[in-house]
Structure 1
């Protein structure tokens, strides 16, 4: 039996493994992808100071550090069941059963699909799939594409595709349906877009994003949109249908009002050989549900998340969570949470010195600092939502102690 098994070799899992192994724990990581790194493998962007973040290089650095510390990393392995035992946890995988004293779930997030007529055609993919094709496999998703869905992820990855030499013709909203909901409303999406104003190449747009009302901006937003890095972001146009027979040939779009109603007589077809659908991210928390964790629905964090505290402990003994399974945020926040989890697990297993215990507080503070200074915020109200979650966890713990 090992001390700690981690499910997920992304930034949270790797940072947790390093922190735990540095304190003498026997650590193993499993991940269903063919190589470690998680979503880091697809990331390539410029920071405000002009430096570039290369996710592949960052993942390699963490991987080599973990291996140096004796961490066992198995890729191409999936987990299909979990069971709490008197000694810890049994983890049922496609490579056999693993036994561990503690378990960390760092499974990340999954993309939310938005069904649109024609979305099953070859050449239609999620925005994350296009990112992986370009930045991980070095394969262009196509030559000229349309992105459907305006959010933090779509704008950031559209820029990454552009850096890969791909033409992103435009970014438009999805047609309104039960699943797209607010994602089809220009006023709602303007709020998301204004949170990205600090990334805009124009100083005027950066300043304007801080003071403009989302409703007012959506009402006067030009039909042809504004360009960021030369890519038109068209909040006043919607994708009605993806056109093609054997593969994507184009997208039928139409102009819409500030509240999302289609304006008759404005339909047109935009030529494209690929389409990316960006429906946002949702915490991938299925394994936590299988384990029996208590859950809370927190829209600011992306959906249902396991109840946990700032030390990344869940309501189940020896089970921890870190990264986007706890709420959708940046890779840097995920990594900071991973370090907290690794140190907290080392503390639970009794290997931390007094100085080591102080490192937990420092790691928690660093997570808060990283969150406040994150380049991209996926949702509003994240800090408040996390505080409420941690308070609920503490109240539940106090209740159990009093009983």
Structure 2
């Protein structure tokens, strides 16, 4: 019987494993990907300090530390079911069943795809797939392309693609439909764009972003938005243009783009055809929480965290005894926050297994570090993160009080 099985070998899962092994817990980490590190592997960006955040190097540090502690880590293993049996869990995988007293789910997030006519053509991919191909596999996704969707994720990855020698013609909005929702509305996109302007190389844009936080200024900015877009990292970002279709016979050959009103409606007879050989669709991220749902974990829809998240405490414990969560399954944030949450989860599991009171101080420091890391995050995927976290915390308190 294992002390803990950790599902997911990203920043949260590996950090938790390190703390569990430091406390001599019999720990197994499984991940379906052949490489360790999760989303860290695709990340490469420059911090405001001028330092570069290299996800591959950060992942290597975590893997090296976990291996130094003799952690059992297995790749290529998919988990398709988790069941609670009496006082332990049975984890069903493509490599058989594993039993453990505790389970940590650190499965991260998945991408939301926005449908566009022609999106089944070869050469169309999610923005995350383009990031992995470029930064992990060192494969150039194409010579010239368009990114559909203007958000924190697409802006960051667009820069990474440029660093990889890929020509990005522009970033445009998806066409307005039931699924694209506010991603196709210039006003809503402008509000999100103002939160990442501090990453822009232009001091003028960074200065202007301070004023762009005002809803009045945002609406005025959309109405007066330049026809040629605003350039960030030498990439034109358009809030008054949307993709109408992706064109080609056997692969992507071009895209049709049209001008839109401030409300996101297509302006008739404004279409233009742009020759490209690839298209990246950026619909955002949502917590990958199916395994927690299978476990009967309580959920709450929290827009500020990216969707439905398992209800959990600040110590990363759920109301299912012995079940813990950490990372983007708890809400869409940066890899640094996920790493900090993993440390908290690992210490919480160690405390549950050992009853070592000396871990209380470490756990308090780790929980405070999550907040500090969140405060200092370069990129915030959603506004009002703390408000969302408080809603989840309140829900957890209500559940546990009812049980008592």
Could you say which TM-score interval applies, normalised by the shorter chain? over 0.9
Does residue 381 (structure 1) correspond to residue 371 (structure 2)? The answer is no
Which residue of 256, 268, 273 maps to 1:269? Answer: 273
| Structure 1 residue aligned with 2:299 | 295
Counterpart Cα distance in 2 of 1:374 and 1:343: 23
Normalising by structure 1, we get a TM-score of 0.98
| Structure 2 residue aligned with 1:51 | 51
Structure 1 runs (4+) greater than 3 angstroms displaced: none
Offset of residue 351 of structure 1: 5.0
| Structure 1 residue aligned with 2:360 | 357
The C-alpha deviation readout for 1:155-198, integer Å capped at 9, x for no partner, is 00000000000001100000011110000000000011100011
Which residue of 393, 400, 403 maps to 1:400? Answer: 403
| Structure 2 residue aligned with 1:328 | 332
* CA contact 1:223–1:235 (8 Å) conserved in 2: no
Matched residue SS, 2:178: coil
The C-alpha deviation readout for 1:85-143, integer Å capped at 9, x for no partner, is 22311000000000011000000000001111000000000000000000000001001
Counterpart Cα distance in 1 of 2:20 and 2:228: 52
Counterpart Cα distance in 2 of 1:339 and 1:107: 15
| Structure 1 residue aligned with 2:250 | 246
Does residue 218 (structure 1) correspond to residue 206 (structure 2)? The answer is no
Counterpart Cα distance in 2 of 1:26 and 1:217: 56
Offset of residue 395 of structure 1: 2.2
Provide the aligned C-alpha RMSD in A. Answer: 0.8
Normalising by structure 2, we get a TM-score of 0.98
Q: How does 1:277-316 map to 2 (within 5 A)?
A: 277-316=281-320
Offset of residue 394 of structure 1: 1.2
* CA contact 1:188–1:214 (8 Å) conserved in 2: no
Across the two proteins, how many residue pairs are aligned to each other?
400
Which residue of 371, 383, 388 maps to 2:374? Answer: 371
Matched residue SS, 1:248: coil
Q: How does 1:25-36 map to 2 (within 5 A)?
A: 25-36=25-36
Consecutive unaligned residues of structure 1, counting only runs of 5 or more, are none
Q: How does 1:117-132 map to 2 (within 5 A)?
A: 117-132=117-132
